[in-house]
Amino acid sequence: MAALLELDHVSYTYPMASAPVLRDISMQFEAGKVYAVIGASGAGKTTLLSLLSGLEVCTQGTISYNGTDLRSINRDHYRARSIGVIFQSYNLLLNATAVENVLLAMHLAGEHRTDKQAAYQVLESVGIDRPTADRKILKLSGGEQQRTGIARALAHNPDILLADEPTGNLDEANEAAILDLLTHLAREDGRCVILATHSHRAASCADEVLGLNRGRLLTVRQRE
């Protein structure tokens, strides 16, 4: 299967830092699979997701989306339409309601179906009912906020889902539900899901587990 995302000798060094946080990474990510990136805190998992989402630009090497270097495309456009990002700290608009967060993602993707009904449907698909959807983010529980973050990432039907510790703040029941949802999105809907996680349970759901150690990315396990 052709790679949706491809990293070719990618390195990244933070400004003012002497050593790179990611070193010479080459990797391909395919549609229909769940990838789990594991590693110790500070290993560079979030940085890797930032590069894949176009929030940062690698200092060496190239990252390609469908064969096109991310440097040569509009990264705002790429973030708004091609990928969905689920942040560890949710990063929702706190003064807005859950449904407004989803609507905004639809609007940025240029979706014409930016009516509330469609947004409610997306929220319902991740387990957020209408009364909850109409509440301000600050009034939602951690699990509800995480689900809203996932709904927002799915709102524009992206090819790739990037999730940074998507279950880090959830209890076991919610964690299981979210992981079921993500694996379903990959295997049934044919999306590419990339998780950065400390969770063994999350890693166990992945088709491929990648380990980050001293800036290098290695394949730890592949599902048969």
Partner 1 sequence: MYLIGNTMKNLVRNRGRYLLTGAVLTALLAAVAVSTMLHGTASRLIDTYTDRFGASVSFTTDLRKLITLTKPDENGQFQDPEITSEQYLAFSQSDAVKNTLFQGTRQVYCDTLQTLDQGNEEAFYEAGGWGGVFQGASETDAPQRQAPNAVVLGYSDPDMMEDFIAGHRQLDEGHFFSALGEVMVSRDLADRSGLQLGDCFTLQDVNHAEVPPLTLTVCGIYLDGTAAQADGQDWAVTNRRNELLTSFETLSQHSMAGLWLTASYYLKSPDLAPDFETYVREHGLSPVYNVSVDAEGYNRIVKPVQSLKSLSKAFLLVILLAGGLVLILLSMLGVRERKYEIGVLRAMGMPKVQVALGLLTESFAVLVLCLSIGLPLGNLAAQPAADAILAGQDAGNEKQIQSNYGDGVVLSTENNGEAETPMQHVDVLWTQGSIGLLAAVSLGLGLITNAAGIWYITRWEPMRILAERS
Residues of this chain that interact with partner 1 (CB under 8 A) are 50, 53, 55-56, 76-81, 85, 87, 89, 91-96, 100, 104-105, 107-109, 114, 152
- 45 or 152: whose CB is closer to partner 1? 152
| H/E run at residue 9 | strand 3-12
- 162 or 203: whose CB is closer to partner 1? 162
CA distances from 34 to 30, 61, 179, 207 (A): 9, 24, 10, 5
Is residue 182 within 8 A of residue 153, CB to CB? The reply is no
d(CA 170, CA 163): 14
CB 205, min distance to partner 1, A: 25
CB 14, min distance to partner 1, A: 10
CB 186, min distance to partner 1, A: 22
Pairing of strands 208-213, 216-222: antiparallel
CB 152, min distance to partner 1, A: 8
- 28 or 142: whose CB is closer to partner 1? 142
Residues 6+ apart with CB under 8 A from 42: none
- 33 or 79: whose CB is closer to partner 1? 79
One DSSP character per residue, 72-93 reads GS-HHHHHHHTEEEEBTTB---
Neighbouring CB atoms inside 10 A of 99's CB total: 22
Q: Identify the DSSP state of 197.
A: -
CB 144, min distance to partner 1, A: 17
- 56 or 159: whose CB is closer to partner 1? 56
